[in-house]
Amino acid sequence: MLKPRVAILAAAAIAVLCLAAIVATAKHKPALSARVVTVETTTNALFLSVQLSNSGTYVYVTSPARIEIWNGRRWETWRELTSFMDVHDLPQHATKEFSYLLPCTPAELRPNERLRLVIGGLRPQHGLRSFSLRLQIWLHGGAASLNPFDPEVALCPDTAVTDEFKAP
The share of the chain scoring above pLDDT 90, in percent, equals 2
145 phi and psi, to 5 degrees? -75, 135
Report angle CA 58, 23, 136 to the nearest 5 degrees.
55
Q: How are beta strands 88-90 and 60-70 bridged, if at all?
A: antiparallel
pLDDT band with cut points at 50, 70 and 90 for residue 152: confident
pLDDT tens string 66-117? 888 888 899 998 888 765 556 777 777 788 887 777 777 666 777 788 888 8
CA distance 100 to 48: 5
Report angle CA 138, 141, 147 to the nearest 5 degrees.
20
pLDDT tens string 34-47? 888 888 877 777 78
**What structural domains does the chain harbor?**
29-166 (2.60.40)
- Residue 25 reports pLDDT greater than 80: no
